[in-house]
A and B are shown apart, each in its own frame.
Chain A
Amino acid sequence: METFRKYGRIEVSIGVFFVVLLLLGLRLFYIQVIEHDKYDAMARNIQTQELIIQPKRGEIYTRFGSETAPLVLNETIYTIFADPQQIDSAKKVISEVGAAVGDRLEIGVKDLEKSKTQYMVLARGLSNEQNKKVEKLDLEGVGSQKSSRRYYPEDKMLSRTLGFVNVEGEGQYGVEGEFNDILSGKPGLLSGMTDIKGTFLPTSQYYTSIPAENGENIVLSIDRNIQYAADQILDSGLKSVGATKGSIVVMDPQDGSVLAMSSSPSYNPAQYSKVENADLFLNPVVNNAFEPGSVTKVLTMAAAIDSGAVNQKSTFYNSGCVKIYEDKVCNVEQSVSNRTLTATDIFRYSLNTGVIWTLEQMGGGSINNKGKNTLYNYFHGKFRLDDLTGIEQAAESKGDITKPNSNEAWDIRYANMTFGQGFNTTMIEMTSAFAAVVNGGTYYKPHLLYGTLDDENSIHQTVPEVVTNDVVKPETSKAIRQMMFEARDHSGDSGHYVGSKSGTAQVYDAKTGNYSKTNFIGTHLGFGADSSGNAKYVIMVRVDDSRAGGYAGTIAAGPIFTNMSNWIINYKGISK
Chain B
Amino acid sequence: MTSKRVQFTSSRYNSGSAWARNQNLTAISKESKIGPVFSTIVAFGIVAVLAVIYLFQITKTSTYSFELENIENKRAELVAEREDLRNENARMQSAQRVNKSGIASSMTTPASIDYAN
Contact A575 B95 (CB under 8 A): no
**Are A573 and B95 in contact, CB atoms less than 8 angstroms apart?**
no
Contact with A along B80-116 (1 / 0, CB 8 A): 1101101100110111100100000000000001011
Contacting B116 at CB < 8 Å: which of A127, A128, A224, A575?
A575
**Interface assignment of B23: CB less than 8 Å from any CB of chain A:** no
Q: Does B26 contact A (CB under 8 A)?
A: no
A307 within 8 A of B: no
Chain B's closest residue to A199 (CB) is B69
CB-based contact B95/A154 at 8 Å: yes
A203 touches B83 (CB 8 A): no
Q: Are A203 and B69 in contact (CB under 8 A)?
A: no
Is there contact, CB below 8 Å, between A154 and B61? Answer: no
- Complex alpha-carbon distance, A59 and B83, angstroms: 12
List A contacts of B80 (CB < 8 A): 76, 128
Q: Residue-by-residue, is B60-74 near A (CB-CB < 8 Å gives 1, otherwise 0)?
A: 011011101100000
| Interface contact A224-B115, CB-CB below 8 Å | no
- C-alpha gap A198/B69 in the complex (Å): 11
**Contact between B96 and A128 (Cβ–Cβ < 8 Å)?**
no
User: Bound complex: CA of A479 vs CA of B64, how far in Å?
Assistant: 77
Please tell me if A75 contacts chain B, counting CB pairs below 8 Å: yes
Which residues of A sit under 8 angstroms from B66, Cβ to Cβ? 199
B62–chain A nearest beta-carbon distance, Å: 6
Asked if B115 and A203 sit within 8 Å, CB to CB, the answer is no
Asked if B64 and A74 sit within 8 Å, CB to CB, the answer is: no
B2 at the interface (CB under 8 A from A): no
A128 touches B84 (CB 8 A): yes
* A201 engages B116 (CB within 8 Å): no
A70 on the B face (CB < 8 A): yes
Q: Is A153 an interface residue (CB 8 A)?
A: yes
| Measured CA separation A144–B14 after assembly (Å) | 92
Closest Cβ of chain B to A201, distance in Å, is 5
Q: Is residue B117 contacting chain A, with contact meaning CB distance below 8 A?
A: yes
Q: Which of A146, A155, A225, A575 contacts B117 (CB 8 A)?
A: A575
Q: How far is the CA of A169 from the CA of B63 in the complex (A)?
A: 36
Given A128-B84, A151-B87, A575-B115, CB of A201 within 8 Å of CB of B96: no
State the CA gap A153–B91 with chains docked (Å): 5
> Separation in Å of the A101 CB from the closest CB of chain B?
16
For B90, the closest partner residue in chain A by CB is: A153
B9 CB to nearest A CB, Å: 58
Q: Which residues of A have CB within 8 Å of B76?
A: 146
B65/A228 in contact, CB under 8 A: no
In A51-88, which residues have CB < 8 Å from any B CB?
Answer: 69-70, 73-76
Contacts of A128 in B (CB 8 A): 77, 80-81, 84
Task: Indicate whether A201 sits within 8 Å of B65 (C-beta atoms), given known contacts A75-B84, A127-B84, A128-B84.
Answer: yes
Contact B117 A531 (CB under 8 A): yes
A557 to B117, CA, bound (A): 30
Complexed CA–CA distance, A199 and B70 (Å): 10
Query: Which residues on B sit within 8 Å (CB–CB) of A355?
Result: none
| Cβ contact within 8 Å between B87 and A199 | no
Tell me, rounded to whole Å, the shortest Cβ–Cβ distance linking B106 to chain A: 19
CB distance from A435 to the nearest CB of B (A): 23
Closest CB in chain A relative to B91 CB, distance in Å: 5
Give which listed residue, A69, A151, A154, A200, contacts B65 with CB less than 8 A: A200
Indicate which residue in B61, B91, B113 contacts A570 across the interface (CB closer than 8 Å): B113
* Contact (Cβ within 8 A) A201 B62: yes
User: Which residues of the partner chain A approach B113 to less than 8 Å between Cβ atoms?
Assistant: 570
A570 and B115 alpha carbons, distance in the complex (Å): 9
Whether B69 contacts A200 by the Cβ 8 Å rule is yes
**Is A202 in the interface zone, CB < 8 Å from B?**
yes
| Distance (whole angstroms) from the CB of A62 to the closest CB of chain B | 10
B101 to chain A, nearest CB (A): 14
| B65 in contact with A153 (CB, 8 Å) | no
A531 to B116, CA, bound (A): 11
- Residue A182 is within 8 A (CB to CB) of chain B in the complex: no
Q: State the CA gap A568–B14 with chains docked (Å).
A: 115
- Collect the chain B residues with CB atoms within 8 Å of residue A409's CB: none
Q: Are B84 and A574 in contact (CB under 8 A)?
A: no
Contacts of B83 in A (CB 8 A): 73-76
Known contacts A73-B87, A75-B83, A153 near B115 by CB under 8 Å: no
Q: Which residues does chain B contribute within 8 Å of A576, judged by CB atoms?
A: 115
Residues of A within 8 A of B94 (CB): 153-155
Residues of B near A69 (CB, < 8 A) are 93, 95
Structural contact, A154 and B62, CB atoms closer than 8 A: no
Interface residues of B (CB under 8 A from A): 61-62, 64-66, 68-69, 76-77, 80-81, 83-84, 86-87, 90-91, 93-96, 99, 113, 115-117
10 pairs of residues in contact across A and B, judged by CB atoms under 8 Å: A73-B83, A75-B83, A75-B84, A76-B83, A128-B84, A146-B76, A154-B94, A199-B66, A201-B61, A202-B65
Q: Which residues of A contact B (CB under 8 A)?
A: 69-70, 73-76, 127-129, 146, 151, 153-155, 157, 195, 199-204, 224-225, 227-228, 531, 570, 573-576
Q: A128-B77, A146-B76 are in contact. List 17 more A-B contacts (CB 8 A).
A: A69-B95, A73-B83, A73-B86, A73-B87, A75-B83, A75-B84, A129-B84, A153-B93, A154-B94, A154-B96, A195-B65, A202-B65, A203-B61, A224-B95, A574-B115, A575-B116, A576-B115
